[in-house]
Amino acid sequence: MDGVRQPTLSLSEGSIYLFDWSAATSHPFRFSTTSDGTHNSGSEYTTGVVKDDSAYTTQITVAGGAPTLYYYCSNHSGMGGQANTP
């Protein structure tokens, strides 16, 4: 992400973040409460998340009390990292 391999993100409650994955259209950007998301028997986290697969963007409004999240590629396992929600 931005030239850094699997960085840990810090997301603030109440803030809105827009992730543009148009430069990597075969790697849909998703969130989960499980490391590696749906590839690790987890489920996609959708609270406050708006996905636009035609514009290749994923937006999240971080809810108050949101758990630690993990971002991942829904097409490929092993592509993602942690998103802390302090």
35-44, long-range: CB < 8 A, 24+ apart? 35/70, 35/80, 35/82, 36/70, 36/72, 36/77, 36/78, 36/80, 37/70, 37/72, 37/74, 37/80, 38/72, 38/74, 39/72, 39/76, 39/77, 39/78, 40/77, 42/70, 44/74
Q: What is the pLDDT of residue 4?
A: 57
Q: What average pLDDT does this structure show over 5-13?
A: 88
Q: What is the pLDDT of residue 73?
A: 93
User: What tens digit of pLDDT does each residue of 17-60 get?
Assistant: 999 999 989 999 999 999 989 998 899 999 999 999 999 999 99
Q: What is the pLDDT of residue 9?
A: 92
Q: Is residue 5 pLDDT above 90, yes or no? A: no
Q: What is the pLDDT of residue 1?
A: 59
